Structure 1
Amino acid sequence: MPGVTDNEVRPRGQAWAAAVIGLVAGAAGLGVAELVAGALAPKASPVTVVAGVAVDSSPAPLKEWAIRTFGTNDKTVLVGGILVVLVLIAAGLGVLGRRRPGLARLGFAAFGAVGVAAAVSRPDSALLDVLPSIAGGAVAAWALVPLLRRAWPAAEPEWSSPRPAEPRPEPPAADGGVSAPSPAGGPSRVAGTGTELGAGAVAGADPAAGPALAAGTVPAGGGGAERPAVMRARPGDLDRRGLLTGAVTGVVVAGAAGLAGRALGGRSVAEAARTTVALPPAARPARALPGGADLRIRGLAPFVTPNRDFYRVDTAIVVPQVDPRAWTLKIHGMVGRPIEITYADLLRRPLVEADVTLTCVSNEVGGSYIGNARWLGARLADLLREANIQPGADMLLSTSDDGWTCGTPVDVTLDGRDALLAVAMNGEVLPVSHGFPVRQVIPGLYGYVSATKWVTDIKVTRFDRDEAYWTPRGWAPRGPIKTQSRIDLPRDRATVPAGRTTVAGVAWAQHRGVDAVEVSVDAGPWRPARLADVPGPDTWRQWVLDDWQATPGRHTIQVRATDAAGRTQPQAEAPPAPDGATGWHTITVQVS
């Protein structure tokens, strides 16, 4: 290459190796960040805080698309997408570092800064939350250059002998000339012979011994014997062994640090404490479920949803770990007497059992974001009355441990329904993923305005003064649940045999109750379905039509419900935003 000497580093087109080094440096930084997060700030893993900001800043239509497309796996997909982006950027910085290591280091440092900014922007941020991102960015930036040097060592040749060979007079060339030494230590031409010496030979070689000395040898002064030369790869050549050892070391560091961080962060204080909680008996137990509440039809959602199957939709990338021994609930704002209670205080209060169905506002017509459970908790109305709510207050702004907020109309918590601060679910201490140690359960409202998990604060205020998390994102400030119904069997697009066929599902209109369900086949007349019994108006209701005579061919089945107030769910279809989906659930089946 004109103008470049052998001693200068010159790229050899091995961008893949530089990309690998960038990945290893980034992985080492991320592993150390996880270690620091696990030890000092479990909620501040860089990926977690960046994912949280992504959730908070995403427009509502994008959130709805993610929930529809990925369901309860939406957070996993988001974190996976962030990791893919980090992989691509780390690889790119590795390639950049081959020529501009300083600039590549700044790139890794910039990503640490992004993590810091994301950490401090979280509503529940603490001072230590910046440390994981700082440590991760610093380690990645530092590790890049040593890894590059191992892969491309910029070294001069080293002879095995500490003494240079003594020069000898040049013998005359065949054409009367003398050999000319290479000015750069490269190939030399023996004048008049057309013979070049190898790159490892030295000037003064005897042509009688051969055209040239073998590369990598030097003459022993005066004796004609040769000594081997130890040569390292030319500057700019890839040292594959150095690349491999550096990459393996970096991967081991990244893996060990990451696993240690996960182990430390996985020390669930909440889960450990949950196992020690002794639930007191209910001061007002729920009535036994009616014998006909569950029709026990295979494929039909059970009346009581098991805890493991209960839907979970929230904004928490990592489930908050709340120690009940440190938990407190503050009720303040427009009250005459602010209240602060502990978990032990709450358990000592008269507890109430209630069967309540919860529904997410993101639930599409016929969707699965709904579940029914038996809850145990303290009545929220009692606490609010003790706090002496001031006239004019119409909103409860509740806050989760992770900073999420929820706006609940005051009137629905005081009208006699079982609005609870729940501590148990289906006879078990509240699961951590469903809000342990305490969550809100308020019948008749979509979850985004009623069902705050990990609740720690309730501010009594007004809708014209405060906004909860979803309201500025386009959702209605109040969210009463709409009357809806769903077909569970047969499944949409299923193939069923001809003859008598069972059609069954669930319907709900919380705190009003379901009075009727009707089924139509192929736009024919509406036929009444048989309803299961229910313990009250706050749960869903199973229904069944078991005498449809299915004939061969393709059929369309629709369902609609009517609530106790006489309102029949409308046919007009509407998306979940801004206050809940509407429309008749419609499926098609093939009868053979």
Structure 2
Amino acid sequence: MTVLDRRELLSMPFALWLAEAATEGEQVIPFADTKPFNPERPTLPWEQTTAWITPTEHLFRVGHYGYPDVNPAQWRLEITGLVNRPLTLSLDELKRRKVREQTVTIECSGNAPAGGLIGNARWKGTPLAPLLKEAGVQPEAVEAVFFAADASTEKIRGGEYQQNFARSLAVREAMKDGVLVCWELNGAPLDKNHGAPCRLVVPGWYGVAWVKWLTRIELHDRAYLSRFMGRDYVTIRGEKQGEKTIWRETSVGRMNLKSVVGRVTRRADGSLRVMGAAWSDGTPIRTVELKIDNGPWTPVEIAKENRNPFCWVFWTYEWKGAASGEHTLTSRATDARGRVQPAPDDPFITLKKTYWEANQQAVRKIKV
């Protein structure tokens, strides 16, 4: 039996709202940095985005050690380590558990300020927490480590070691209600590019935590530090304290507050419609504002039909009297905690020395 998240039902009218916003006859005004869509390396084509649910063919894909072929009939999920009752489950056994379908936004931690490594999709699977409780997580376990089928040889301190891709979550994070072992994307079984037969879904976290081709979950009593926890996917950021700069290395984790101007169209009466999206780690979006050229920040209209904290929200702004020529459009989001999306010259951005977690305001250029 499939259980639809209550927030799914609340979001359904939004598709009608967006369809009305994208009426026929409106002319798309391209951004200066628009690149042609490449189906071999898909990224979200913002200027074509008129649906709240991202088509699977527009969802980005990442394979750290390639894209393994995993036979669903032979696939098993192991839950082992510091547990009282180790489990080994087939795909059919998982599907006989409680099934949940939920819509969640996924963003790659390497996404650029206005990049297309993001999408909003429907994910179906079974909640992870009941599986961990059935296995009996021992009190000393502090992390759940998720191992994938993709593997390669890593050179570590002079030696060579076969390593599977793996990421970890604190047990308290793994136990959260929305975390799924997922086998279906947008109403169809996962394909190889998106982690078939099963992957993890971790709402509010960057995509690297959504381990694809999932095969094993281990419970550990100490931090797991593989290449993709302790060396790659580590953000180096400085903080000024007087005349000193304090440098910190932190593992990529929860998504940062972010928004982007996604699409500009010209209507029949000559006015322009600016559309965009905003998202976060699950903290509700309070406001989105738009700045045109060097003008003031102006509030935009956020769709009221969808307020799922783990999904992006779409917004619109009616721009009348736009002068001919080149213009810049910049959006910024503020969340319910009062956090404001940083400007490109904010020290939070300028003192970040790695490309992961880039959530600065994106300046989009168009010619009207």
After TM superposition, the score normalised by the length of structure 2 is: 0.76
Q: Aligned equivalents of 2:366 and 2:269: distance in 1?
A: 11
Partner of 1:381: 129
Aligned pair partner of 2:14 in 289, 292, 297:
292
**Distance of aligned partners of 1:343 and 1:409 in 2 relative to their CA distance in 1, 3 Å threshold:** same
Q: Given that residues 120 and 312 in structure 2 are in contact (C-alpha distance below 8 angstroms), is that contact kept between their aligned partners in structure 1?
A: yes
Q: Aligned equivalents of 1:327 and 1:498: distance in 2?
A: 57
Are 1:307 and 2:48 matched, yes or no? no
Q: Given that residues 111 and 117 in structure 2 are in contact (C-alpha distance below 8 angstroms), is that contact kept between their aligned partners in structure 1?
A: yes
Shift of 1:300: 5.4
Aligned pair partner of 1:427 in 155, 167, 187:
187
Shift of 1:578: 6.5
Partner of 1:248: none
**What 5-or-longer segments of structure 2 have no aligned partner?**
23-46, 151-163, 235-249
Partner of 1:415: 176
Partner of 1:568: 340
**Distance of aligned partners of 1:554 and 1:379 in 2 relative to their CA distance in 1, 3 Å threshold:** same
Q: Aligned equivalents of 2:171 and 2:89: distance in 1?
A: 20
Q: Aligned equivalents of 2:100 and 2:320: distance in 1?
A: 42
Are 1:441 and 2:204 matched, yes or no? no
Q: Aligned equivalents of 1:375 and 1:483: distance in 2?
A: 22
Shift of 1:556: 1.7
- The aligned amino acid for 1:553 is G
Q: Given that residues 110 and 355 in structure 2 are in contact (C-alpha distance below 8 angstroms), is that contact kept between their aligned partners in structure 1?
A: no
Q: Aligned equivalents of 1:478 and 1:393: distance in 2?
A: 21
Shift of 1:565: 2.5
Aligned pair partner of 1:464 in 210, 216, 223:
223
- The aligned amino acid for 2:339 is R
**Distance of aligned partners of 1:547 and 1:353 in 2 relative to their CA distance in 1, 3 Å threshold:** same
Stretch moving more, 303-312 or 547-556? 547-556
Are 1:323 and 2:323 matched, yes or no? no
Partner of 2:273: 502
Map 1:128-527 onto structure 2 (within 5 A): 281-284=1-4, 287-288=8-9, 289-293=11-15, 295-296=18-19, 297-298=21-22, 299=47, 301=49, 302-317=51-66, 319-402=67-150, 403-416=164-177, 418-448=178-208, 450-462=209-221, 464-467=223-226, 469-473=228-232, 475=234, 476-490=250-264, 499-527=270-298
**Distance of aligned partners of 1:284 and 1:544 in 2 relative to their CA distance in 1, 3 Å threshold:** closer
**Distance of aligned partners of 1:447 and 1:409 in 2 relative to their CA distance in 1, 3 Å threshold:** farther
Q: Aligned equivalents of 2:340 and 2:222: distance in 1?
A: 30
**Distance of aligned partners of 1:390 and 1:523 in 2 relative to their CA distance in 1, 3 Å threshold:** farther
**What 5-or-longer segments of structure 1 have no aligned partner?**
1-280
Q: Aligned equivalents of 1:507 and 1:447: distance in 2?
A: 17
Per residue, is there more helix in 1 or in 2?
1
Shift of 1:284: 4.4
**Distance of aligned partners of 1:479 and 1:548 in 2 relative to their CA distance in 1, 3 Å threshold:** farther
Can you list the C-alpha shifts for 1:352-382, whole angstroms capped at 9, x where unaligned?
1111111100101111000111111110111
Partner of 1:555: 327
**Distance of aligned partners of 1:375 and 1:576 in 2 relative to their CA distance in 1, 3 Å threshold:** farther
Q: Aligned equivalents of 1:487 and 1:456: distance in 2?
A: 38
Q: Aligned equivalents of 1:542 and 1:485: distance in 2?
A: 9
Can you list the C-alpha shifts for 1:481-521, whole angstroms capped at 9, x where unaligned?
00001111239xxx999952111111111322322110011
Q: Aligned equivalents of 1:397 and 1:498: distance in 2?
A: 56
**Distance of aligned partners of 1:543 and 1:392 in 2 relative to their CA distance in 1, 3 Å threshold:** farther
Helix, strand or coil for the counterpart of 2:2? coil
Partner of 1:78: none
**Distance of aligned partners of 1:451 and 1:563 in 2 relative to their CA distance in 1, 3 Å threshold:** same
Q: Given that residues 436 and 453 in structure 1 are in contact (C-alpha distance below 8 angstroms), is that contact kept between their aligned partners in structure 2?
A: yes
Helix, strand or coil for the counterpart of 2:203? coil
Q: Given that residues 357 and 510 in structure 1 are in contact (C-alpha distance below 8 angstroms), is that contact kept between their aligned partners in structure 2?
A: no
**Distance of aligned partners of 1:447 and 1:585 in 2 relative to their CA distance in 1, 3 Å threshold:** same
Question: How many residues were matched structurally?
Answer: 305
Q: Which of 1 and 2 has greater Rg? A: 1
After TM superposition, the score normalised by the length of structure 1 is: 0.48
- The aligned amino acid for 1:529 is V
Shift of 1:388: 2.0
Cα RMSD (Å) of the superposition? 2.5
Map 1:29-48 onto structure 2 (within 5 A): none
Q: Aligned equivalents of 2:4 and 2:143: distance in 1?
A: 27
Per residue, is there more strand in 1 or in 2?
2
Q: Aligned equivalents of 1:307 and 1:384: distance in 2?
A: 30
**Distance of aligned partners of 1:503 and 1:463 in 2 relative to their CA distance in 1, 3 Å threshold:** farther
Helix, strand or coil for the counterpart of 1:386? helix
Q: Given that residues 513 and 539 in structure 1 are in contact (C-alpha distance below 8 angstroms), is that contact kept between their aligned partners in structure 2?
A: no
Q: Aligned equivalents of 1:428 and 1:383: distance in 2?
A: 23
Q: Aligned equivalents of 1:479 and 1:560: distance in 2?
A: 21
Are 1:587 and 2:347 matched, yes or no? no
Q: Aligned equivalents of 2:260 and 2:141: distance in 1?
A: 37
Q: Given that residues 145 and 224 in structure 2 are in contact (C-alpha distance below 8 angstroms), is that contact kept between their aligned partners in structure 1?
A: no
Higher relative contact order (CA 8 A, sep 6+): 2
Q: Given that residues 14 and 52 in structure 2 are in contact (C-alpha distance below 8 angstroms), is that contact kept between their aligned partners in structure 1?
A: no
Q: Aligned equivalents of 1:436 and 1:292: distance in 2?
A: 29
Shift of 1:411: 2.0
Partner of 1:530: 301
Partner of 2:38: none
Can you list the C-alpha shifts for 1:105-135, whole angstroms capped at 9, x where unaligned?
xxxxxxxxxxxxxxxxxxxxxxxxxxxxxxx
Partner of 1:33: none
Q: Given that residues 440 and 455 in structure 1 are in contact (C-alpha distance below 8 angstroms), is that contact kept between their aligned partners in structure 2?
A: yes
Stretch moving more, 345-354 or 513-522? 513-522
Q: Aligned equivalents of 1:313 and 1:384: distance in 2?
A: 27
Q: Aligned equivalents of 2:212 and 2:133: distance in 1?
A: 22
Stretch moving more, 404-413 or 568-577? 568-577
Partner of 1:69: none
